[in-house]
Amino acid sequence: MSWSEYRRAVAGQVPVFPVADAYESGVVPIRFSGWPLSQQAPAYPALDQDIAADVVVVGAGLAGASLALRLAENGVRVVVLEADQPGSGASGRNAGHVQPYLASFAPLRAHADQGRRFTEYFVEHRDIVFDLCRKHGLEADAAKSGMVDAACRRHGALEDKVKRWKDFGYDLDLVGAEQLRELLGTDAYSHGIHWREGGRVNPYLFTNGMIAAAIGLGARVHGNSCVQACEPNGASWRVRTATGSVVAQQVVICTNGHAGNAFFPELARTQFPLVACGMATRPLSRDVLDIVNPARVTLMQYPAGLYPLIIDGRDRLITATIPGVGRAQRAADHFAYFLRYLRRTYPQLGDARIELESYWTGMTANSSSDYEASYPKLYRVADGVLALINFGSWGNVMGPMMGTNLADALAGDRFQDCLLPLETPKAVQFPGLFETKIRRVLIPAARLADRLNLV
């Protein structure tokens, strides 16, 4: 089948939000994401009074939810204010990969100790997603099913990666064609890494689970409570929404890439935005499940990673990619690319039915124009106001890890325990260039190389 035949077959299958710009800016309503489909989370009421707390957390994504949970566990009075509902931002729209490794060590060179403490903490807490689910009984379809980097030829970088992470005590190996066939069910790859760590999670349920657990431990959470102002109030801050306010000594902003906030606009200039899209198929038939990815690992193609995939607890294939400029709303195109890859990788699928259930987009906020070097940032915006933002594409593990670490530092009044250096917001240069580079150059080139079998 040609790409245009795939496209015709898919067109009209999925619900589409009628505003194309909403796809470009990653703000299609969260109900279009494939993740809430499995379970609707509660809607938290808007703040409608003036109250007080020790800490106000602005934004209930993976960062804000984990921060609030850990603060509540530490006995801190915490109030969370969320513009929409928990998990409505990038956290309810991501690809569900739990990657327990660092893609680049370069940003650690800026740490006072060259990142020694950060790396030790990261390695020790690499199972944080699964640990939090277990500890708080969160039902987030989390599975430590492992990961595979799969390549069509030998890459020295994969060998270096195995050596480096083995030295940290990770359970992973270089694998060849035979093991890859067993794990993935395809002959398409000849070299790779099998990580017996990491896996998948439903990030929307995970975020909402952390919020529910925080409430259970005494936190207050308000949805539909967009923060409009953050004003000094004696030695504290008054954080205002349209219908109420919270006075607290400490404010932590966890709003990720949501620019346009009237308060502390300098934060929006610290990031390189990049839109990404996600897709979920309808639950697969038994025949297809027997063929595709029988080990149920999180699969990433190396080096381009154009069609990363997981199979979730509802037996759906879920993938994510970066759309070309002006093409973010084209669900049929992106699903057609994915299907073509899938049928080429698994010719035994024949014409088995694989249908699209949902298509959505979301914004990532990156601290670096080098995709892999995008580490989260901890900013000191003013005395008593911090921002924990810019998680790039690495929020599932980094979000709860940095949220938990910051909560412990705040609760113990020990800023020296923060893993991230405390920085002053600094505008990045040419914020649009990163998106242009990836969407106009790298992705189209990678698709072409993939099509011509040049990877």
Smallest gap from residue 271 Cβ to ligand FAD (A):
11
63 is an interface residue for ligand FAD by CB under 6 A: yes
Structure tokens at 88: 């409505």
Pairing type for strands 422-423 and 377-382 reads: parallel
Considering the complex, what minimum distance in angstroms separates the CB of residue 273 from ligand FAD? Answer: 10
Displacement of CA 436 from its chain's centroid (Å): 21
Residue 255 or 405: the one with the smaller Cβ distance to ligand FAD is 255
Measured from the CB of residue 172, what is the shortest distance to ligand FAD in angstroms?
18
- Measured CA to CA, the distance from residue 17 to residue 359 in angstroms comes to 10
Residue 391 binds ligand FAD, judged by CB under 6 A: yes
Question: 128-136 vs 62-73: helix axis angle to the nearest 10?
Answer: 50
The reply on whether position 93 binds ligand FAD by CB under 6 A is yes
Among 271, 281, 319, 364, binds ligand FAD (CB under 6 A): 364
82 in contact with ligand FAD (CB under 6 A)? yes
Taking the complex as a whole, how short is the minimal distance between the CB of residue 207 and ligand FAD, in angstroms?
A: 7
Q: Which two tokens stand for residue 261?
A: 């906030």
Q: Is 146 in the site for ligand FAD (CB under 6 A)?
A: no
* Contact call for residues 206 and 62 (beta carbons, < 8 A): yes
The verdict on 132 binding ligand FAD (CB under 6 A) reads: no
Token code pair at residue 165: 């992470």
Amino acid at 409: A
User: Which class for 388: exposed (0-12), middle (13-18), buried (19 or more C-beta within 10 A)?
Assistant: buried
Q: Take residue 26 and report the two structure tokens written for it.
A: 């990653």
Instruction: Give burial (CB, 10 Å; 0-12/13-18/19+) of 28.
Output: buried
Spatial contact of 260 and 393, defined as CB atoms under 8 Å apart: no
Judged by beta carbon, residue 19 or residue 454, the one nearer ligand FAD is 19
Q: Under rule CB under 6 A, which residues in 305-324 are in contact with ligand FAD?
A: 320
Residue 58 makes contact with ligand FAD by CB under 6 A: yes
How many residues bind ligand FAD (CB under 6 A)? The answer is: 43
Site residues for ligand FAD, window 98-127 (CB under 6 A)? 99
Q: Which residue in 90, 133, 252, 317 binds ligand FAD (CB under 6 A)? A: 90
> In which element (H, E) is residue 172 found?
strand 172-176
- Interface with ligand FAD in residues 234-273 (CB under 6 A): 254-256, 258, 261
- Our CB check for ligand FAD shows the closer of 52 and 103 to be 103
Nearest by Cα to 349 from 185, 142, 128, 165:
185
Pairing of strands 147-151, 97-98: unpaired
Candidate residues 34, 96, 146, 192; the one interacting with ligand FAD per rule CB under 6 A? 96
Stretch that binds ligand FAD, among 89-97, 165-173, 210-218, 409-417 (CB under 6 A): 89-97
Chain residues that interact with ligand FAD, rule: CB under 6 A: 58-64, 81-84, 88-91, 93-97, 99, 226-227, 254-256, 258, 261, 276-278, 320, 362, 364, 389, 391-397, 399
